[in-house]
Structure 1
Amino acid sequence: MSAAHMGRAAALILATLLASSCVSVSVTVASKEARRYNFRFVRHARDAPAVSYYNYIVVGGGTAGCPLAATLSEHSRVLLLERGGLPYGNRNVSSEYHFADALADTSPLSPAQRFVSEDGVVNARARVLGGGSCLNAGFYTRASAGYVRAAGWDARLVNASYRWVERALVFRPGVPRWQRALHAGLLEAGVTPDNGYTLEHLPGTKIGGTIFDRRGRRHTAADFLRRAHPRRLTVFLHATVSRVLFRPGGKKKPVAYGVVFTDSVGGEHHVYLRGGGGGGKNEVILAAGTLGSPQLLMLSGVGPRVQLERHGIRTVHDHPGVGQGVADNPMNSVFVPSPVPVALSLVQVVGVTRFGSFIEGVSGSQFGIPLHGRAAASHAVARNFGMFSPMVRSRQLGTVPPRERTPEAMRRAAEVMRRLDPRAFRGGFILEKILGPLSTGHIELRSTDARANPAVTFNYFRDPRDVERCARGIQAMERVVRSPAFARFTYANHSAMDAAFRRGAAHFPVNLLPRHPGDTRPLQQYCRETVMTIWHYHGGCHVGGVVDQDYRVMGVRGLRVVDSSTFKYSPGTNPQATVMMLGRYMGLRILRERWIRKGAEDKH
């Protein structure tokens, strides 16, 4: 097998991984599927009344929106609007063995909606109740104590909120041999101390939690809705919110008083806050994610005036910070071919380095697909990558720089895959992402269609400090692979590995790409030209820039944003735990504010 063939194979294998009114919200017409999972308050948006009223309208039933809505329903009438469907009954969501299939699905009803950043990297955003927790690799770890302090959060309430999340859906993983070897290899490579199994974010090497149970079944943020008050919560699925409604505030700020959403057959529905909003109690809360929340703010007239006017949107509040400071943690990886079969495992072990790089691993590249001969290998390529799939075309073709990942390049790489010996698929990936990152970009509207993806630019590796962190991370990965602890899963003479990474036997692993003339920094080049996403994008509605410390949108009233778009940096090694925690945390904070205000009003 040639070096070029193995290099392209390595990049492509990674493709597989990686109500009527507020008094009738007790839902009498839940769908059969919703009733099957005891979600009697969940309905299809086409069954929604034309006009309805609630105390809280939560836009986005994702990783933050589900725990937020469940918490608010403890004492208030809540409507949760989700543009996707239920995650239950879909094996691509529920089964660990079909993790890659959800991301490869390009159908209109897919739980993952693909988007390609302006940098040329294909990514995905969730379109399903439960959000990104339905699509990710399941790793669960808290943010560091320093992150919590910097965010200005109440540490005791944060810990209580994490525990609430963990009781519902976090498990201790069974760690197979490949992951155990990675754990030991990280320690031998100097990523110390050994922190064992812990949910805390600590320097060194650890085993984290997972949202997959021992049967390989995924548990998602949608499960939090089982804790909701069933007569106070209504959930509408396939409901796409097109704008937040504002009324003039006179000499005061504009007031959010409702939203407009469209169902799957084009019917338009209006939902209003009880009492008209703006009184400090009833609110619209955006939890639509890093892309969705800034996009919806701009579609509603809250954003940079120049951009709004370009699309004919009336400016409610000129807010230049909306859509700015968006970042995506870049992922770079190396494929390690194994001389022995490797069991499937998603992320279970992480090395938290002291220089700002996080190292993780996934193994069993075939993801439960039996490969028996070249025909089966070809079938696996077609099934998981799609012969002309945009995912392969621009996200996973790590053998060419992002902007050169054309359909033709994808077709050539897929042809190479057909000719590979099935043993080329045997092994695992060691991945790294960098802390932060420091490089940031922006989101802009492409159109006024709320269903369309906005234009997203992440500016990967624009800051040279990000490149340096990545290069040091690659060096640490090299030490892991060459460690005695990892020897079982590497070829003794390194010949297959050296062929895979196109560098001499004395240096492994390295650049999959042809050398550039005069290049003196191959690892930095490798980082820039093999960059992919690890789906940890964030920003666009920063605390202090777009929202205040209580997550209220500055410049208007009756509107908050509670999701990953408020983060300046991605928390911990993997953000889902903190996004879930934030939903619970802010739900409790909002309810507390409500009853303190009510008590003060009663005294008067």
Structure 2
Amino acid sequence: MALGWCRFFGACFIGILFLHGFCACDRAPYYSFMLNATSAPTISYYDYIIVGGGTAGCPLAATLSQNASVLLLERGGSPYGNPNITNLAKFGAALSDPSPTSPSQRFISEDGVINARARVLGGGSCLNAGFYTRASPEYIRAAGWDGRLANESYQWVERRVAFEPQMGPWQSAVRDGLLEAGVLPNNGFTYDHIKGTKVGGTIFDRDGNRHTAADLLEYANPGGLTVLLHATVYKILFATKARPKPVAHGVVYRDASGAKHRAYLKRGLKNEIIISSGALGSPQLLMLSGVGPAQQLRAHNITVVLDQPMVGQLMSDNPMNAIFVPSPLPVEVSLIQVVGITQYGSYIEAASGENFGGSPQRDYGMFSPKIGQLSTVPPKQRTPEALAKAIEIMNNLDQQAFQGGFILEKIMGPISTGHLELRTRHPEDNPSVTFNYFKEPQDLQRCVEGISTIEKVIDSRPFSKFRFDYLSVPQLLNMTASAPVNLLPRHYNSSQSLEDFCKDTVMTIWHYHGGCQVGSVVDHDYKVMGVDALRVIDGSTFNFSPGTNPQATVMMLGRYMGVNILKKRLANEDLAN
């Protein structure tokens, strides 16, 4: 069935609903150790204080609680009982929620790309599209991790949160199209990062329930862990007098009512504070606590504890570019399930479906302007007015315009980096962050090659039944990158113009990292260099994004470092005895 051009031009605005028929999940576990911070004492003492109950913080806290007293401070609330997190039929609703209590907090980089950071127990694993895949063996070796312990830590995570997806015809056609396009071999279903085409894992089980890093708290020793929700940490406290270098010994946090609390490390063994607040939150908290570029700290009247100019540097976000392919046939609603891991450094993935939920608002999708994903104008032109216009057009589209799917590419790395700076002294305010998308020519070339591979998939025999014969790939590119009003159509039909396509249609895939990198801010044990009793354990320490999706490796790292820290703690106890 042919569709009108107005529908096709508008289709670039749509919000894909990835799965449907999913019942709201009310399986909230009873965690006796999970409390609202308003119930916390004014002063408390622990062996370990972890700031950030996200993708790394939850497995780290669960592990350390086995042999120590642990306080886990999370600025957001619980993911359990929130249908915008647990109900896959509402995927993306949390990302479009602008309220102060939303589990996601929108930020816009200085590049103009709209992004989001998590504000909920479980972190980004409560908000993402669910793809689960490990880092490559080469990545693990380069990071200096013990391969056996890394593998055991991945398996520890996977027993709770990872599953094999159920493949439908559209995803199968993308897989077979990738193989015909030369992304070989066919690696079948695997969590492993292997060049070629594979089906990856998902954190959604067969009943459609999202499993998150918060579920890893089921491993915890209830007697060794306290989790405080709606607890916003304002700064790390350091002891500096008569010491060779500053020593972290406590934190100041506020609860939802604004009341101030202090938590301190117990005296004795090598107790520590660990920051696991993510690629924006961790460097931000270090700076607010006086560890960072001295000139910037003084500009905000922050007392300098340690002049560390690399805090907030080497920030990166993997750019995503996508092509919408309208289908003459109905397609299944699918998450990202298939990935093509190319030889040249681009990852090809796909998502499909229409809004079967019956909502006229069409809120929920990875490519919806309601969550800031607007590829029809260049990043700097993605104003509130442009978003509002895109949402209006999306809501007025005929339902059939939503029939089809997106094939996307994400470049590995990336090589391009930027920086993060404070805007204010309030920890809930977003810092200023610049990612410098495609600053390095190799990143741009990888995008061009990725788009070229997507063209081959679209033109492949296995995918032919899911595309209209009369729509050429250049026309699909124009549809994806052009708006139906107030913009002249662009024409992408050469190698050079694909570079323009990459720059003009760039979006985020929410895989930003850096700011506290190993070798620059922390050492290989994730200890903050220049101070004692302080570590950073999360994606802010990564030099490159691991695998095709980092969440598996961030969860693994929390478990991995928890095991290592406990081993050394027990060894110290044996020596003391």
- Interval of TM-score (by shorter of Structure 1 and Structure 2): over 0.9
Q: Distance in 2 between matches of 1:403 and 1:339?
A: 34
Q: 1:510 to 1:248 in 2, by over 3 A?
A: closer
- Judge conservation of contact 1:104–1:391 (CA < 8 Å) in 2: no
* Structure 1 equivalent of residue 458 of structure 2: 481
In the TM superposition, what is the alpha-carbon distance from 1:430 to its structure 2 partner?
Answer: 0.6
* Structure 1 equivalent of residue 22 of structure 2: none
- Judge conservation of contact 1:394–1:402 (CA < 8 Å) in 2: no
Deviations 1:334-361 (A, max 9, x none): 0010111111110111000000000101
In the TM superposition, what is the alpha-carbon distance from 1:280 to its structure 2 partner?
Answer: 5.8
* Structure 1 equivalent of residue 329 of structure 2: 340
Deviations 1:19-55 (A, max 9, x none): xxxxxxxxxxxxxx99962201110000100000000
Aligned identity (percent) is 57
Trace 1:82-97 onto structure 2 (pairs within 5 A).
82-97=74-89
Q: Distance in 1 between matches of 2:129 and 2:393?
A: 27
* Structure 2 equivalent of residue 400 of structure 1: 377
* Structure 1 equivalent of residue 420 of structure 2: 443
- Judge conservation of contact 1:10–1:334 (CA < 8 Å) in 2: no
Report SS of the residue matched to 2:555.
helix
Q: Which residue of 3, 6, 9 maps to 2:8?
A: 6
> Do residues 237 (structure 1) and 209 (structure 2) align?
no
Q: Which residue of 361, 367, 383 maps to 1:380?
A: 361
Q: Which residue of 100, 111, 126 maps to 1:119?
A: 111
- Judge conservation of contact 2:16–2:354 (CA < 8 Å) in 1: no
In the TM superposition, what is the alpha-carbon distance from 1:174 to its structure 2 partner?
Answer: 0.8
Trace 1:94-109 onto structure 2 (pairs within 5 A).
94-109=86-101
Trace 1:135-534 onto structure 2 (pairs within 5 A).
135-248=127-240, 250-275=242-267, 281-366=270-355, 368-370=356-358, 379-381=360-362, 383-384=363-364, 392=369, 395-494=372-471, 499-502=475-478, 514-515=489-490, 521-534=496-509
Report SS of the residue matched to 1:345.
coil
In the TM superposition, what is the alpha-carbon distance from 1:215 to its structure 2 partner?
Answer: 1.1
Report SS of the residue matched to 1:359.
strand
Q: 1:510 to 1:291 in 2, by over 3 A?
A: closer
Deviations 1:263-313 (A, max 9, x none): 0010000000001xxx66100000000000000000000000000000000
Q: Distance in 2 between matches of 1:465 and 1:233?
A: 46
Report SS of the residue matched to 1:85.
coil
Letter in 2 for 1:584: R
Letter in 1 for 2:431: P
The CA RMSD measured in Å over matched residues stands at 2.4
In the TM superposition, what is the alpha-carbon distance from 1:530 to its structure 2 partner?
Answer: 0.4
Q: How many residues align?
A: 565
- Judge conservation of contact 1:393–1:406 (CA < 8 Å) in 2: no
Q: Distance in 2 between matches of 1:397 and 1:365?
A: 18
Letter in 2 for 1:245: L
In the TM superposition, what is the alpha-carbon distance from 1:392 to its structure 2 partner?
Answer: 2.7
- Judge conservation of contact 1:6–1:499 (CA < 8 Å) in 2: no
Q: Which residue of 16, 29, 44 maps to 1:37?
A: 29
Q: 1:15 to 1:395 in 2, by over 3 A?
A: farther
Deviations 1:474-493 (A, max 9, x none): 00001001111111211133
- Judge conservation of contact 2:76–2:230 (CA < 8 Å) in 1: yes
Write 1 or 2 for the structure with the bigger share of helix: 1
Report SS of the residue matched to 1:101.
coil
State TM-score, norm by structure 2.
0.94
Unaligned runs of 5+ in 2: 20-24
Q: Distance in 1 between matches of 2:491 and 2:295?
A: 41
- Judge conservation of contact 1:352–1:358 (CA < 8 Å) in 2: yes
- Judge conservation of contact 2:49–2:265 (CA < 8 Å) in 1: yes
Letter in 2 for 1:12: F
Q: Which residue of 519, 523, 528 maps to 1:553?
A: 528
Q: Distance in 1 between matches of 2:228 and 2:290?
A: 24
Letter in 2 for 1:315: V
Q: Distance in 2 between matches of 1:540 and 1:306?
A: 17
In the TM superposition, what is the alpha-carbon distance from 1:431 to its structure 2 partner?
Answer: 1.0
In the TM superposition, what is the alpha-carbon distance from 1:6 to its structure 2 partner?
Answer: 2.5
- Judge conservation of contact 1:15–1:392 (CA < 8 Å) in 2: no
- Judge conservation of contact 1:510–1:523 (CA < 8 Å) in 2: no
Deviations 1:513-568 (A, max 9, x none): 73389997111000001010000000000000000010000000000000000000
- Judge conservation of contact 2:15–2:364 (CA < 8 Å) in 1: no
In the TM superposition, what is the alpha-carbon distance from 1:502 to its structure 2 partner?
Answer: 3.1
Q: Distance in 1 between matches of 2:412 and 2:555?
A: 20
Q: Distance in 2 between matches of 1:120 and 1:358?
A: 23
- Judge conservation of contact 1:179–1:361 (CA < 8 Å) in 2: yes
Q: 1:518 to 1:338 in 2, by over 3 A?
A: closer
In the TM superposition, what is the alpha-carbon distance from 1:595 to its structure 2 partner?
Answer: 1.2
In the TM superposition, what is the alpha-carbon distance from 1:391 to its structure 2 partner?
Answer: 7.7
State TM-score, norm by structure 1.
0.89
- Judge conservation of contact 1:112–1:126 (CA < 8 Å) in 2: yes
In the TM superposition, what is the alpha-carbon distance from 1:406 to its structure 2 partner?
Answer: 1.8
* Structure 2 equivalent of residue 27 of structure 1: none
Q: Distance in 1 between matches of 2:395 and 2:52?
A: 41
In the TM superposition, what is the alpha-carbon distance from 1:498 to its structure 2 partner?
Answer: 6.0
Deviations 1:70-107 (A, max 9, x none): 00000000000001111011111112221111111111
- Judge conservation of contact 2:477–2:492 (CA < 8 Å) in 1: no
* Structure 1 equivalent of residue 573 of structure 2: 598
- Judge conservation of contact 2:11–2:394 (CA < 8 Å) in 1: no
Q: Distance in 1 between matches of 2:475 and 2:500?
A: 19
Report SS of the residue matched to 1:380.
coil
Q: Distance in 2 between matches of 1:365 and 1:260?
A: 47
> Do residues 69 (structure 1) and 69 (structure 2) align?
no
Q: Distance in 1 between matches of 2:372 and 2:285?
A: 26
Letter in 1 for 2:471: H
In the TM superposition, what is the alpha-carbon distance from 1:237 to its structure 2 partner?
Answer: 0.2
Q: 1:574 to 1:518 in 2, by over 3 A?
A: closer
Q: Which residue of 512, 517, 521 maps to 1:542?
A: 517
* Structure 2 equivalent of residue 57 of structure 1: 49
Q: 1:320 to 1:16 in 2, by over 3 A?
A: farther
Compare 114-123 and 60-69 and name the one that shifted more: 114-123
Deviations 1:130-149 (A, max 9, x none): 00110111111110000000
Q: Which residue of 75, 81, 87 maps to 2:73?
A: 81
Q: Distance in 1 between matches of 2:222 and 2:26?
A: 13
Report SS of the residue matched to 2:176.
helix
Report SS of the residue matched to 1:100.
coil
Q: Distance in 1 between matches of 2:330 and 2:68?
A: 54
- Judge conservation of contact 2:291–2:308 (CA < 8 Å) in 1: yes
- Judge conservation of contact 1:84–1:128 (CA < 8 Å) in 2: yes
Deviations 1:235-288 (A, max 9, x none): 00000000000011524110000101000010000000001xxx6610000000
- Judge conservation of contact 1:351–1:359 (CA < 8 Å) in 2: yes
